[in-house]
Amino acid sequence: MDRTLESLRHIITQVLPHRDPALVFKDLNVVSMLQEFWESKQQQRAAFPSEGVVVYESLPSPGPPFVSYVTLPGGSCFGNFQCCLSRAEARRDAAKVALINSLFNELPSRRITKEFIMESVQEAVASTSGTLDDADDPSTSIGAYHYMLESNMGKTMLEFQELMTIFQLLHWNGSLKALRETKCSRQEVISYYSQYSLDEKMRSHMALDWIMKERESPGILSQELRMALRELEEARKAGQELRFYKEKKEILSLALTQIYNDPDTSSPSDDQLSLTALCGYH
């Protein structure tokens, strides 16, 4: 623990040279410090060079407790985990959680190396019914995970998180199962999605998938949204990274809005992502 704290102080000295490492997390101006940190990272071109904006979102509320989210360049999202009596306090608390995670992301142990991959695969094997031999077989879940890590060698965990979030959503959405049925290999799916970011087009496509699910099983959208909101709140109060849970909420809310505004919402158009397009190179 002492070594980790010393490493964090060293990172603060490098990225925020005019700040006192001992006072960083006690500073009430943590919002500007977080912005300063990512602007410094952008200038160094060390991470997400084209995305230098830290974005805050406060949930509408007539009174306390207030909730605030902060999304970092690259998409990682954090929120306040304390009970906050003002919007400004919630914003500061969210910024503090994000700053701590941003600093931890700079530690050597948070970068994907051969040693990191070996340890991660061993942990994955220990938590499943797989074996170490599966790591060399991309048709297995362990092998796909191994392939994803190797494909992102040298990246930090926050950089890797966006790709992981996409695959978490594809699994939740049922798209991975559908892709397997079209005989797309895991390697091909990973290679394809590694080229894309989680944007409005992908969200819209997933929302249309859930509209179709709602037609087949009325009520499933509201049920999933209630679950997503509960998961998001639990993860926020635990100080966890929130993007997967927040994206689920956004996708389901978009689907419900489209159904409410246009009950006869059509199927995905040709210019949207489709399973055929995803496996067109197969």
Give the residue with greater pLDDT, 12 vs 136: 136
pLDDT band at 161 (very low <50, low <70, confident <90, very high): confident
Mean pLDDT, rounded, for 189-196: 80
**Do 173 and 167 touch, CB atoms closer than 8 A?**
no
Highest mean pLDDT among 101-110, 188-197, 221-230, 264-273 belongs to 221-230
pLDDT cut 70: percent of the chain above it: 80
Q: Distance between CA 240 and CA 97 in Å, rounded?
A: 9
CATH-assigned architecture of domain 1-106: 2-Layer Sandwich (3.30)
- Per the prediction, the chain carries an average pLDDT of 81
Residue 268's φ and ψ, nearest 5 degrees, are: -55, 140
Query: Which of 111-115, 238-242, 248-252, 272-276 shows the lowest mean pLDDT across its residues?
Result: 272-276
Confidence (pLDDT) at 140: 79
Give yes or no for residue 230 having a pLDDT over 50: yes
- 88: tokens are 């400004």
- 50: tokens are 């084209």
Confidence (pLDDT) at 176: 78
**pLDDT tens track for 64-102:** 999 999 999 888 999 999 999 999 999 999 999 999 899
pLDDT band at 274 (very low <50, low <70, confident <90, very high): very low
Cα–Cα nearest to 279, from 204, 209, 191, 179: 179
**Do 243 and 86 touch, CB atoms closer than 8 A?**
no
**pLDDT tens track for 214-226:** 999 999 999 999 9
Domain boundaries, the chain: 1-106, 111-196, 199-260
Give yes or no for residue 6 having a pLDDT over 90: no
Confidence (pLDDT) at 236: 96
Q: What pTM value is reported for the model?
A: 0.79
